[in-house]
Every structure is written in structure tokens, then in C-alpha cells.
Structure 1
Amino acid sequence: MAEHLDDLAASWVRDLKAADRSPKTIKQYMLAVNQFRDWLVAHDRPATAESMTKYAIATWLGDLADLGREPATLQIRFKGLHRFILWLVAEEELGRDPMAGLQPATVKPKPVPIIDDADVAKLFRTCEGKEFTERRDQAILRVLFDCGIRISECAGLEIGDVDLKHHDVVHVHGKGDIDRAVPFGAKTGRALDRYLRARRDHRLANTTDALWLGIRGGLTDDGVEYALKKRAREAGLEHIHAHQFRHGFAHRWLLAGGQERDLKRLAGWRSDAMLERYGNSAADERAREAFKRMRLGDRL
């Protein structure tokens, strides 16, 4: 009897955990597997490895496209299912790779709008009070704005990661298992200091090392995003998300004449392609500012 995809996927997840894949990565992979399984069931096909044919997979991807899924989403689903299939082949549950020859959707990067300084100031003003959540959210916003770290890195910070005594840095464990020390300025340091003093009196202060505390414990990625969106609503701002701070950080760094090599280290990037991607959002503005500084046409 052919083994069900759910059972095979459970074995794969164990293998991924043994390989120290992050929970977020595993979740993304499993979304693809589960969605393909559901598609098989909806089309009266057995949810087994034998049903993973090139035709079935191509049809499933086509159906996702017809439902209006973005190319980036299609690419993620493609890669997630392909990872599973490659594991099945390696484990000899499949004789060959049925996705060989299939191509993922082409993704054209969309420039991410930068949050301008006036809107960032509005966000800061929503949490200038002395209540615990105001101290916390002010510190979160300052860290995202000043340090440009990922939301997952921000949510994953622990008390011991904040160095206020010696170097004014946060120690970040980032993507690709990269650890780095990211500096922050005086205003961010003040916000962190105020929050840490407020945190000491929180009823959950001694139950977790997580830096950011919520009602039930440390904030997750979603918890940090929720806090940001709540402050954005209070400030009358729409379509604000945490990753805009990271793009804004890269833009401001380059606009101020910062070195790309230093930006790579601070942002935790291994690839130069990330510089292009994150610097693209406001590249035209930087080009105009560079033109004004050079004044090439005014030489004569």
C-alpha cells in the first residue's frame, strides 16, 4: 500500500529539524506540501508520492496562478514542494524528480515604499507616554528604524543581547545562522534603557529571557508586527509593515554616503544582490542627490 503524503511529510519534517532548519522555513515548506495534498484530494486523486507527476504539479501551479497568486508566492510554493520531492528521491520513495524541467514563476522585484521621516515621527509620537506598552513599542520602533534588523531578529532578541554598558549594540542572531552586533544611536539607547527599567516590574519579567514582553510572554514575529500596525493606525498611517524599516535603513545609509561593504555587514547579507534589492526602493532619489552634489553641468 502506497504511503500517504502526510506520513512522508512527517518524516521529512523530522529530517529538517535534525538539519537545524528554522521553524519558519519548515512552515513555508509544509504550506506547499499541504496545499498540493489538498489539491490532489479535491481532484479525487490519492495523496501519495505516486500522484506527484509532472503533469499534476504543473496543473496545480497553474491553478494557483489562475486564483491570482502573486509570482513570488508561486515561486515559494514551487521551491517548497521541490525540496520535499528531492528528499523523497534521496530516500528512494520516488524513483526520479518529477519536477525536472519545470520552471518556477519569474518574480519581478517590486520597489518597497520607504517610510519618510515625517511619518516615522508620527509613529514615535503615538508611544511617548510612560505606560509599559508605550515604553516597549517606542523601543521596538526605535530599534527597527535605527538598526534596520529583520522583524524576526527583533522579535528574537533576549535581554542579554542588549549591550548598553560598553558598546551600544544589539547582538542579533540572523538568517543563515549569522551572528552580528548592530550599533544603535543615543535616542534608541534611551528608549531601550527606559523599556528595560519598566520591564523589571512586569509580572512576567522573570519567566522568560525574551526582550519584548506581551500579555502571555515574549512577543513573536506576529506580536511585533501587531504592535507596529497598532501604532500605525493610531498615527493615521496605512500600509505600514516592519520590512519597510529595513529598506529605509538601507536607503538612508547609502544616501548618507555609507559604504556598501559596511551595510552588508550591518544588515547580515552574504550576497551583493541584496544590496541591489534593498537599495532599489529609493535609488532615483539617491541619484538626484548625487547629481546635485556633483554639479557637473555647472563647471563651465
Structure 2
Amino acid sequence: MLDELELHLSTTTNRLGRPYQQGTIRAYMTGARTLDRWMTRAGVEHDFTSCDAATLNQFFRHHYETHDVPKSQDGKGGYTGGTSTLQRNCRVLFAWLEEEYEVPNPWRDKKLHRYASPPQGKPKTLSSEFVTDCLRVTGNGNPRVRDFETTRDHAIIRVLTEGLRAEELLNLRVQDLDLHGHTLVVVPLKGDRNSTDGRTIPLQPKTVRALQRYLRAREGHNLSQGPWLWLGTRNRNRLRYSGLYRLTKRIAELAGYDPTEVSPHSYCHTWADDLLSNGVSGENVMAVRGWKSAAMLKRYAHDQASQRAVTAVHQLGDRY
């Protein structure tokens, strides 16, 4: 059934009539495989078609208690498993079973317990010192630093400061760069994706120079003729999220910081604060970022809102 589900997801379209992205397929399959492992451990002898609301309630409760319980004073537990996300991903499995095997869908049963997402904390904005130190330990744009990994890592940190999501950065192709125009183009990850969609990202001059030096270092890579911009070290294939995640942690540690305090997405919050602090309007921030809702701007801008307000008032000087 797992093989059938994966084949179904890879050959059908989402509600917008477009193929599922590989990351989405992996998420749905992870949900199904997690349920499969729990059924084996719990001694459920039948297949997925036997799962009713009561069985799923046991499964989700077990997952919540072993993954999502809030941290206690001894530091155990914590919101790490995402039972709400798991529940959403498993829903796809049972919608498919209803259609393909004509079995009742437990999601239509009012007895199925629903789990809400854990409360989101404030986005953590990185300090300017942190970003500066990370750029420093990756060569700080020194043209004499020419080894592939350092040059690549510096360019990646630079591009992260331009507000790209991790997947947007990883999906960049060489042809997406317009260094003479000081811009690059990212393809939307969700919703209105098609072959002509794209969002133009303005680049800082130092980012342009970092990318230019990386392209020069990239020419010596075995896969330099391929389309993907970011390539692995030791002539390995394109960079993936796990590699980017480790990269940001490693650089933070080299710069003398706690690596648990940073992830690729941390730079997105910092970018929003940088622009707003320097007078860029919320409308323009939303346009560059591709946000359609002001709620996202409010969330990303929340962390340093008080400090920006204090700075803005101080800049007025004496008002009377």
C-alpha cells in the first residue's frame, strides 16, 4: 500500500491541478510510514483499511505523548514531533484509501480527535554582529580566498541575507542570476507556480561580488555544466537541505556562537528587520518576499518592532 500511495502521489495533481513537489510527497509518505511503524509495534495485524477513528486516536495520542509534550523543568519533552502536521499528512493517505479501496474515511468521523499546532514563538532575529562574524569566518569576501568550499559558503550566507527561503536558495539555477542587473529570480514554491512565474530579488553589491567569485570557483567542479547553482564539496552532487542546515550550524560554531540558535530560516527574519529598520516600506518588503498577506509581514517584523519604534522616535529629535 505504501508503494501504491507513492505511485499515486507521483502521478496525480494537487487541488490546484499541478504535480506534487518531491518535498510534499516525502512529507505525505513520512506520515504513512510513521503510522505503519506504530501499527507494527502496537500489534495491529490488519492493513491501513482497518484503521478507524478509535485506532487513529490511539496513534495520534501516542505520538503526542512521545513527541509533543511541553518541556518540563527537567528539560524532557518538548514540541518536536508536530502531531498536528502528522495528522494533516496522514489525511492524504485515508482520502486515497477511500477513493481506491472504497473504505470509510476516518476523517469524516466526528469521534476523531483533532490536534492543533503548538503555539508559535516570536521569530528570532539574528544580531548584526552574528551575521558579520559568520561572513568573517567564511573569508569575508577576500578575493585571495579561492578554495571552493569557503567561497561557496560565503556566497550562501550572503544570499541568505537577501531573504530567500532555504528551498528557494537550493532551487536556484545558474541562469536565474543577473549579476549585471544586481538581481536574481526565484520560482514560487507554492500556489501559483508555473514556468513563467518568478520573483525578482535585489542583491547587495557584496552579494553580487560573492556570487561572481563563487561562479569562478564553481568552474572547476565536475558538475559545473549542470544547471544547479549550489554544488557539493569534493565534486559531489547539488547541495540539499540537510547540507545547507549543517552548513549554517557549522559556520555559526566557527564564529563562536551556539549552533542550536540558528537555522537557514533565521536569516529570513533578520532580512525583514534589516529592511524595515532602514526605512523600506512594508509594501515593498511584502513584494520582494512574495507575501500576499500583511499577517506574514507582522509576524516577521514582530521580534524587533519595539526597538524600531524607539529608534524612529529618537530620530525625530525635539518635537517642541
Q: TM-score range by the shorter chain?
A: 0.7 to 0.9
Q: Is contact 2:49-2:97 (8 Å) kept?
A: no
Task: Give the aligned residue type for 1:213.
Answer: L
Q: How do residues 158-237 of structure 1 correspond to structure 2 at under 5 angstroms?
A: 158-165=173-180, 167-176=181-190, 177=193, 179-206=198-225, 208-214=226-232, 215=234, 216-237=236-257
How far off is 1:108 after superposition? Answer: 1.2
The structure 2 residue matched to 1:274, chosen from 279, 296, 300, is 296
2:102 aligned residue:
93
How many residues get paired? Answer: 291
Q: Is contact 1:72-1:107 (8 Å) kept?
A: no
Write out per-residue CA displacement over residues 239-262 of structure 1, whole angstroms, 9 at most, x where no aligned residue. Answer: 221100001111222222322222
**Residues of 1 paired with 2:168 and 2:270: CA distance?**
17
**Residues of 2 paired with 1:89 and 1:235: CA distance?**
53
- Cα distance change of structure 1 residues 15 and 294 upon mapping to structure 2, 3 Å threshold: farther
Quick check: 1:115 aligned with 2:126? yes
Q: Is contact 1:71-1:105 (8 Å) kept?
A: no
For structure 2, the 5+ residue unaligned runs are: 69-78, 140-144
Partner of 1:65, secondary structure, is helix
- Cα distance change of structure 1 residues 71 and 200 upon mapping to structure 2, 3 Å threshold: closer
How far off is 1:144 after superposition? Answer: 0.4
Deviates more, 1:102-111 or 1:156-165: 102-111
- Cα distance change of structure 1 residues 65 and 291 upon mapping to structure 2, 3 Å threshold: farther
For structure 1, the 5+ residue unaligned runs are: none
- Cα distance change of structure 1 residues 287 and 103 upon mapping to structure 2, 3 Å threshold: farther
**Residues of 1 paired with 2:81 and 2:304: CA distance?**
21
1:9 aligned residue:
5
- Cα distance change of structure 1 residues 138 and 263 upon mapping to structure 2, 3 Å threshold: same
Partner of 1:68, secondary structure, is helix
Deviates more, 1:133-142 or 1:87-96: 87-96
The structure 1 residue matched to 2:264, chosen from 235, 242, 249, is 242
Alpha carbon RMSD of aligned pairs, Å?
2.3
How far off is 1:127 after superposition? Answer: 1.4
2:76 aligned residue:
none
Quick check: 1:103 aligned with 2:121? no
How far off is 1:179 after superposition? Answer: 2.0
2:73 aligned residue:
none
The structure 2 residue matched to 1:138, chosen from 154, 157, 160, is 154
Task: Give the aligned residue type for 1:237.
Answer: Y
Q: Is contact 2:155-2:210 (8 Å) kept?
A: yes
Partner of 1:98, secondary structure, is helix
How far off is 1:16 after superposition? Answer: 4.5
Length-normalised TM-score, structure 1:
0.88
**Residues of 2 paired with 1:15 and 1:271: CA distance?**
32
**Residues of 2 paired with 1:143 and 1:80: CA distance?**
31
Percent identity reads 26
Runs of 4+ in 1 over 6 A off after TM superposition: none
1:256 aligned residue:
278
- Cα distance change of structure 1 residues 186 and 78 upon mapping to structure 2, 3 Å threshold: same
Task: Give the aligned residue type for 1:230.
Answer: R
Length-normalised TM-score, structure 2:
0.83
